[in-house]
């Protein structure tokens, strides 16, 4: 995952690994799993296998909130 991120210039934070404290804190039930967390640290979206449109609908309002 991390090599793929570097190869595609992805700069947002990605956490990986099932046996980490973060995985336990967020109660991961499967991998991959997507959490979108807003600028205030509030989880706004959770999905195990999100579709593009679902991610888009979750992310766009958060981006607008940051740039306004």
CB 45 within 8 A of CB 58: yes
The C-alpha atoms of residue 56 and residue 28 are separated, in whole angstroms, by 22
* Threshold 0.75, pTM exceeds: no
Owning domain of residue 43: 2-67
The pLDDT tens digits of the residues spanning 4-23 come to: 777 777 777 776 666 777 77
Checking if the pLDDT of 61 tops 80, the result is yes
Lowest-confidence region among 15-19, 33-37, 54-58, 61-65: 15-19
The C-alpha atoms of residue 64 and residue 49 are separated, in whole angstroms, by 24
- Total domains in the chain come to 1
Give residue 8's pLDDT: 75
The pLDDT tens digits of the residues spanning 30-48 come to: 777 888 888 888 989 998 8
Place of tokens 């980490």: 20
Residue from 1, 40, 41 nearest 25 by CA: 41
């Amino acid at each position: 995952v991390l090599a793929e991120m570097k190869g595609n210039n992805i700069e947002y934070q990605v956490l990986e690994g099932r046996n980490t404290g973060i995985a336990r804190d967020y109660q991961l039930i499967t991998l991959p799993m997507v959490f979108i967390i807003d600028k205030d640290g509030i989880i706004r979206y959770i999905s195990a296998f999100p579709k593009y449109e679902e991610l888009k609908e979750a992310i766009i309002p958060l981006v607008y909130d940051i740039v306004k």
